[in-house]
Structure 1
Amino acid sequence: MHYNLTSHIVLNKVSENLYHPKTAVERSELTRFEKIHTDIFPKSEDAVDNIADAIEREIKDKAQENKPCILALGTGQSLTPIYEELVRRHQYQGLSFRNVIVFNVYDYFPQKQGSVITSLQQLRDRLLDHIDINPEHIFSPDGSVAQENIQKQCALYEQQIQKFGGLDIALLGIGRCGNIAANEPGSVITSTSRLILIDSVSREEMTMSFGGQEPVPPCSITMGISTILSARHIFLTAWGDDKADIIQKTVEGPITEDIPASFLQAHNDTHVVIDLAAAAKLTRIVHPWLVSSCKWDDKLTCAAVVWLCEKTQKPILKLTNKDYNSNGLSELLALYGSAYNCNIRIFNHLQHTITGWPGGKPNDDDTYRPERATPFPKRVVIFSPHPDDDVISMGGTLHRLVEQGHDVHIAYETSGDIAVNDEEVTRFMHFLNGFNQLFMNAGDQVIVNMYHDIKQFLANKREGDIDTQDVRTIKGLIRRGEARTACTYNGVHSDHVHFLDLPFYESGRVEKYPMTERDVNIVRRLLQDIKPHQIFVAGDLADPHGTHRKCTDAVLAAIDLEQQAGAEWLRDCRVWMYRGAWAEWDVKDIEMCVPMSPEQLRHKRNAILKHASQADFAPFLGNDERLFWQRAEDRNRATAKKYDDLGLACYEAMEAFVEYKRD
């Protein structure tokens, strides 16, 4: 069973020569904008093997020389699959870590005595407790020391590194603000191990471990930039398109204190090892015509023309031969004969992505429509990771599908309970207790006792405490009620609303359990029951806590199993990916764009606001402080403006989709 099919999603068919050049000359040409050696792999699994191979070689080479292998290790999420692979090699291939000495690159400060949430503990859970490393060979900053002793501890930490001969390999992830270890923006290249204030963006990323921003300690004790740069080999990893922007700035941008990872440009043996999604903004991937001759297909031509429009500030049909020649696109003139011919082709291509019939227009020629006319009506399943992602990301399209007579099912994949504020539980319990007293005679003692227990728990709840099962159930019920209300508002029948409550989500913390066969089978049974003609899934994989990715992985794994089993219904089913909560599709990638009038956009907003617990406050907004209804409107209007700027039809707002192609 494949649990990570989202990592295989590549929006553009990238020619292998762009990410895997065959000769040094080809690499030199392709990477002329890159200031750090960057290895791109089509799948994250291939990249993981590449790094694990390098670490294994270093460990064995040092063992043969009877020397220790000194590793500086981070604890970011991107490093977890590498640690899993190293553990696998230890357990099944005999890779020994007896000669390995590990330096944890940072830990939180201050730490309460006995705190279980530490960077070192995360490193133990993911790697150290599963290999044969000598416990005396593990070193880490201690976040429990008194503040006046930190400077002395940091000096000792640096001395220990030097005592063992310096770092052989530093293995690092990269944060969304370009931080490496806990070196936040503003760090200088000469910095050594020290105490540092955690940046607000990093704090948001750390909520995965702490269950919210409040419990995250204010500071970290981190290995400094100069200490990291002293390592003989450095590996920096990132997976997924949510890291594409910061990777581009790190690899191709200037060295700047604003992006600490950019200091790696000053190192003579740093390897950035990433998948194609994380490489999506590098010049050789996104604008290959600037570094190489291209094999032009419609998708690449569209990307080039949209880029040219943005560069020249012109709509498509006003581009001239001179515009193409002056901006490195003369190959397109040779291919199409003139700017006019190329312009018309791309204009028509983008025009054909626009449709007011997301389920297909019945009894009509669908040659140039993104969705087929038959069958009609279609059975449609919209998978929503949280109980409001459906209306946030495709509320306008959802309403159109219902209005146009399709058989629409909504599948809410998780309870969304951790995103409900404790005040909502108190308000709900006040109502329930009052209702009990007014309408249940002397009152139901079970409810009275539960009301007392929950009230007491919430009064004594501390930062980082996991909610009781009763509290989590009530929070889930609150979100269920809101989802049902929104579905009723959109005209979705109550028996077409499905709450899957996938088990991976029910950890009670922001950090979830691994997605397993149980999750996939729940999704698969629903698909087998409905046998849909259309499936909509979250392609918005930049959700900082990973729920969207896991939910979509569960759907794609279920589809994959059905395909292997030869399911007949799949032959007449298309899968569409939506975005909206965390990002939006680039125009060049959009394959279906559904316009909305001002009234339809207002209807979408009202559906989002039916989720009252999320309307005025949502605990996991990420780096974007706008509420989700504001993001949705801004992004939908921005998509419409991009189409307008390209000289296409002008709408109030638009929702965009990309089709998921099964291999």
Structure 2
Amino acid sequence: MRKDLSSQITLDRIPEKFYKPGDAFELAALTRFEKVPVEIFETATEGSNKVALDIAQQIRKKNSEGKLFVLGLTGGRAAMELYAELVRMHKEEQLSFKRVAVVNLYEYYPLAHPMKASFLARIKEMLLDHIDIDPQNILSPDATIDRTNVMRHCKEFEEHIEKLGGIDVQLLGIGRGGNIGFNEPGSQPASHTRLIMLNSDSRKEASLHLGITDQVPVSAISLGIENILNAKQIFLLSWGEDKAEILKTAIEELASPACPASFLQLHQNASYIIDIHAAGDLTRISKPWLVSSCAWDDKLIRRAIVWLCQKVDKPILKLTDKDYNEHGLSELLTMFGSAYNANIKIFNDLQHTITGWPGGKPNADDTHRPERALPFPKKVLVFSPHPDDDVISMGGTLKRLVDQHHEVHVAYQTSGNIAVNDEEVVRFLAFVKGFKDMFDPQNEHLQKTYETLASYVVNGISNSKDDPQKVLAMKGLIRRGEAKAACRYVGVASKNVHFLNLPFYETGSIKKNPISEKDVLIVKQLLNDLHPHQIYVAGDLADPHGTHKVCLDAVLAAIDDLKHEEWFKDCRVWMYRGAWMEWEIDHIEMAVPISPEELRYKRNAILKHQSQMESAPFLGNDDRLFWQRSEARNKATAELYNQLGLAAYEAIEAFVRYIPV
């Protein structure tokens, strides 16, 4: 079973030479916009293993000299695979940590019970509890110290690091504001260990880490930027599309307090270790024609011409030879002979992506249509990671498929239970009690169940170890009901709604299990049962919680196993986005226009998911509700098509075809 096929989605459209240059000359040319060394890997696993190997070699070298190795640790998600590899090396390759000291980069403050919700607890779970480190060599800010002693504690913390000989290797992640540690935008390069008040973005990230929406710590103790820069070597790790924009700022723009991570440019031995998704906005990846000659294909040509249109503020058909020559695209003039020929080619390509028939138009010439006309009607299967991603990302297309008489099925891959606030449970418990009192007042069992769960949810008092699981089951039930209501609203038959409850998700906490054979088998069973002609999957790899990627990998692994089946030869796979970002226009292969009325229908379908409104725990770093984000993205796609000289639509939902590798 191939578990990480989603990484191939990006690799298919980025030539290797741009992220793995062949020699120093190529590297210098490709990276001339980059002000700090950057290594790009195909997967997070490859990058993590490379850094882990480097750290292991340094530990062994220091130990052979009889010296202590000092490792600065981060508690963020970026280091999870690196820590797992260090644990493997310890268990399988006898890598010893007896002469290693670790320094925790930051800690929430104050914490009454630090081992329940602290970064140190997280690091212990991921690394320290599984290696032979001396507990006396674990240095971390004290989250329980009295506030009157915080400043003295920060100074003593720095002095302790100095006594250890300083940090040999410091591991970092990067926040969405460019923060390193909790050094928020505005932090100066001379800043030292201190108590920092967290801004709204950091508090939202804290809520994800802690799994709560209220009582989020308002501050943290963190090493300052000068302390970080004093480390002998620094690795900043980052994976995934959601960090691509801030990474470009940190790597390619001048060092500035507005992006604290950019100060790594001042260090003599700092490097960024990122995957191809996180590198997506770097010039050598997003606009390679500015740093090298290109092996032009249709998608890269489209990307370059769309970029040129935005650069000179013209629609495609008004671009001139001068525009191409003045902006580094003279190669295209050589290929096409003139701007006119290039313009017509890309204009027609974009025009052919637009269709009001996402399932294919019957009795029509489908030569230039994104979806084939036959068979008609089609059996369509939409995979939705959470019980609302279907309507958020492709609600208009979903309704269009139903209205055009296709047999539409929706499969919700996870229960989404942890994304329901306790207040929603209280509301439904009150309904259950009212229902009992109205129709079955003598039902003592139901009354006792109500009292037990209400006491647990409201007061935190548990009478049974099963109470947390029962509450999670209720939360899953709430989301099922909302999903069914949304499906009914857009016309999907209840018998065609499937709840897969993939095992990787059902941990009862934010931390999920890795994808397993069990997850893939459940997806394969549904595919074998339905034999669909069309499959829609969420390709939204910018999901900050990682669930979308695991769900996508489960579907792609199942498809990989089934791709030689006879039924699959007549099946196409389309990837949608929308919850967090939209497909770039150069990759869009099917654009479905949404009318104003259909957009209202889509909004109403999203609003059926009442538990995911303002009080939902995991709205992310975007303050808008999901229907607002979705509409904004759909309208922006339509506006971009219009700016390029194509028809003006109210909104557009976009799709990219996936072809099994």
Q: Tell me which residue corresponds to 1:614.
A: 612
TM-score by length of 2: 0.96
* Structure 1 residue corresponding to 2:638, chosen from 637, 640, 663: 640
| CA distance, structure 2, for counterparts of residue 333 and residue 72 of structure 1 | 52
What displacement does 1:346 show?
0.5
1:515–1:302: structure 2 CA closer, same or farther, 3 Å change rule? Answer: same
| CA distance, structure 1, for counterparts of residue 435 and residue 43 of structure 2 | 55
- Aligned residue for 2:116, secondary structure, equals coil
- Aligned residue for 1:380, secondary structure, equals strand
Q: Tell me which residue corresponds to 1:534.
A: 534
The answer on whether the counterparts of 1:71 and 1:169 sit within 8 Å (CA) in structure 2 is yes
Where in structure 2 are the equivalents of 1:354-503 lying within 5 Å?
A: 354-440=354-440, 442-461=441-460, 468-503=468-503
1:510–1:330: structure 2 CA closer, same or farther, 3 Å change rule? Answer: same
| CA distance, structure 1, for counterparts of residue 552 and residue 144 of structure 2 | 40
Q: Tell me which residue corresponds to 1:662.
A: 660
- Aligned residue for 1:372, secondary structure, equals coil
The answer on whether the counterparts of 2:248 and 2:282 sit within 8 Å (CA) in structure 1 is yes
What displacement does 1:146 show?
0.9
1:185–1:359: structure 2 CA closer, same or farther, 3 Å change rule? Answer: same
| CA distance, structure 2, for counterparts of residue 598 and residue 376 of structure 1 | 27
Q: Which amino acid aligns with 1:648?
A: L
| CA distance, structure 1, for counterparts of residue 518 and residue 452 of structure 2 | 32
Q: Which amino acid aligns with 1:356?
A: G
Where in structure 2 are the equivalents of 1:496-575 lying within 5 Å?
A: 496-563=496-563, 566-575=564-573
What displacement does 1:622 show?
1.2
The answer on whether the counterparts of 1:333 and 1:342 sit within 8 Å (CA) in structure 2 is yes
- Aligned residue for 1:116, secondary structure, equals helix
What displacement does 1:574 show?
1.9
The answer on whether the counterparts of 1:539 and 1:579 sit within 8 Å (CA) in structure 2 is yes
| CA distance, structure 2, for counterparts of residue 164 and residue 617 of structure 1 | 46
What displacement does 1:159 show?
1.5
Describe the superposition over 1:46-103 as per-residue Cα deviations: whole angstroms up to 9, x where unpaired: 2122212211221122122222211111121111011111111221122222222111
| CA distance, structure 1, for counterparts of residue 578 and residue 622 of structure 2 | 12
Moved over 4 A (4+): none
Q: Tell me which residue corresponds to 2:325.
A: 325
Q: Does 1:653 align with 2:654?
A: no
| CA distance, structure 2, for counterparts of residue 418 and residue 47 of structure 1 | 30
Q: How many residues align?
A: 659
Q: Which amino acid aligns with 1:121?
A: A
1:467–1:571: structure 2 CA closer, same or farther, 3 Å change rule? Answer: farther
| More deviation, 447-456/338-347 | 447-456
Q: Tell me which residue corresponds to 1:135.
A: 135
What displacement does 1:375 show?
2.2
What displacement does 1:578 show?
0.9
1:575–1:467: structure 2 CA closer, same or farther, 3 Å change rule? Answer: farther
- Aligned residue for 1:39, secondary structure, equals strand
What displacement does 1:250 show?
0.5
Q: Tell me which residue corresponds to 2:62.
A: 62
| CA distance, structure 2, for counterparts of residue 516 and residue 153 of structure 1 | 45
| More deviation, 430-439/307-316 | 430-439
What displacement does 1:259 show?
1.0
The answer on whether the counterparts of 1:618 and 1:627 sit within 8 Å (CA) in structure 2 is no
Q: Tell me which residue corresponds to 1:256.
A: 256
| CA distance, structure 2, for counterparts of residue 61 and residue 438 of structure 1 | 75
Where in structure 2 are the equivalents of 1:96-107 lying within 5 Å?
A: 96-107=96-107
Q: Gaps (5+ residues) in structure 1?
A: none
Describe the superposition over 1:97-137 as per-residue Cα deviations: whole angstroms up to 9, x where unpaired: 22221111111110114541111111111111112222222
Q: Tell me which residue corresponds to 2:621.
A: 623
| CA distance, structure 2, for counterparts of residue 514 and residue 190 of structure 1 | 40
Describe the superposition over 1:186-238 as per-residue Cα deviations: whole angstroms up to 9, x where unpaired: 21101111111122212222223311232431111111111111111111111
- Aligned residue for 1:87, secondary structure, equals helix
What displacement does 1:333 show?
0.5
Q: Tell me which residue corresponds to 1:280.
A: 280
Q: Tell me which residue corresponds to 1:315.
A: 315
Q: Does 1:122 align with 2:122?
A: yes
What displacement does 1:372 show?
1.7
- Aligned residue for 2:117, secondary structure, equals coil
| CA distance, structure 2, for counterparts of residue 421 and residue 162 of structure 1 | 45
Aligned-residue RMSD, C-alpha = 1.9
Q: Which amino acid aligns with 2:410?
A: I
| More deviation, 631-640/452-461 | 452-461
The answer on whether the counterparts of 1:211 and 1:511 sit within 8 Å (CA) in structure 2 is no
| More deviation, 304-313/492-501 | 492-501
Describe the superposition over 1:522-548 as per-residue Cα deviations: whole angstroms up to 9, x where unpaired: 222111211222111111122222222
1:204–1:12: structure 2 CA closer, same or farther, 3 Å change rule? Answer: farther
| CA distance, structure 2, for counterparts of residue 640 and residue 137 of structure 1 | 57
Describe the superposition over 1:403-446 as per-residue Cα deviations: whole angstroms up to 9, x where unpaired: 11211110111222223233332332222222222223x43222
Q: Does 1:87 align with 2:87?
A: yes
| CA distance, structure 2, for counterparts of residue 340 and residue 203 of structure 1 | 52
Where in structure 2 are the equivalents of 1:154-193 lying within 5 Å?
A: 154-193=154-193
1:242–1:336: structure 2 CA closer, same or farther, 3 Å change rule? Answer: same
* Structure 1 residue corresponding to 2:599, chosen from 598, 601, 605: 601
* Structure 2 residue corresponding to 1:585, chosen from 560, 583, 586: 583
- Aligned residue for 1:261, secondary structure, equals helix
| CA distance, structure 2, for counterparts of residue 271 and residue 592 of structure 1 | 39
What displacement does 1:141 show?
0.9
Q: Which amino acid aligns with 1:406?
A: H
1:143–1:637: structure 2 CA closer, same or farther, 3 Å change rule? Answer: same
